[in-house]
Amino acid sequence: MIYTVAFIILIGILVFAHELGHFLMGKLCKVRIEAFSIGFGKPLLHKKVGETDYRISAIPLGGYVKFFGDDEKDGKVDPELKHLTLYGQSVPKKSLIVVAGPVFNFILAGILFAFVYFIGEPNLATIIGYVEPGSTADESGIREGDQVLAVNGQSVDTWNEMDEKISAGNQKVMLTIKREEGIKGLTLPLTEELSRNKYGEIIRKPQIFGIMPNKRSALVGVNDPVSPAFKAGFKTGDLITEVDGKKIETWDEFENALISGNKISKIKIKREKEEIELILSKDTNYKKGETRVYIVVNITTLSDSYYSYANNLGFYPSELFISDFVKKDSPAVKAGMQIGDRMVAVNGKILRTFQSLQQVVDKAGRNDEELNILLEREGALITVKISPKLQNIDQENIGQKDKRFLLGVQTYYYMGPVVEKKIIIRNPIKLIWASTVKTVTWIWITLVGLIKLFTGAVSLKAIGGPLMIGKVAGDSLHLGIVYFLRIMAIISINLGIINLFPIPVLDGGHLMFFGIEAVTGKPLKEKYIMIAQQVGFYLLIGLIVLSFYNDILKYGSNILGMFLGIFK
Per DSSP, 441 falls in state H
CB under 8 Å to 154, separation ≥6 — which residues?
165
Between the CA of residue 491 and those of 59, 455, 481, 523, what are the distances in Å? 19, 22, 15, 33
Reported as type and span, the H/E element at residue 527 is: helix 526-555
C-alpha 338/C-alpha 383 separation (Å) is: 12
Identity of residue 345: A
In a 10 Å sphere around its CB, with 0-12 CB exposed, 13-18 middle and 19+ buried, how is residue 19 labelled? buried
Show contacts of 394-398: CB within 8 Å, 24+ apart.
394/459, 394/461, 395/200, 395/459, 396/459, 396/461, 396/554, 398/200, 398/462
Nearest to 419 by CA among 146, 185, 167, 155: 146
**Shortest CA distance to 188 belongs to which of 234, 223, 138?**
138
Residues marked active site are found at 19
Give the closest residue to 505 by CA, choosing from 523, 525, 532, 528. 532
Residues 486 and 112 sit within 8 Å (Cβ to Cβ): yes
Displacement of CA 185 from its chain's centroid (Å):
34
Q: At what angle do helices 2-28 and 481-499 cross, to 10 degrees?
A: 50
Does residue 33 contact residue 52 with C-beta atoms inside 8 Å?
A: yes
Among 139, 188, 134, smallest CA distance to 162 is for: 188
CA 7 to CA 3: how far, in whole Å? 6
E strands, 50-159, are 52-67, 121-124, 130-131, 147-151, 154-155
Partners of residue 382 on adjacent β-strands: 375
Residue 55, amino acid = R
Using CA atoms, how far residue 185 sits from 134, 172, 181, in Å, is 20, 13, 12
Q: Using an 8 Å Cβ cutoff, are 101 and 506 in contact?
A: no
Task: Write the CB contacts of 111 (distance below 8 Å, at least 6 apart in sequence).
Answer: 435
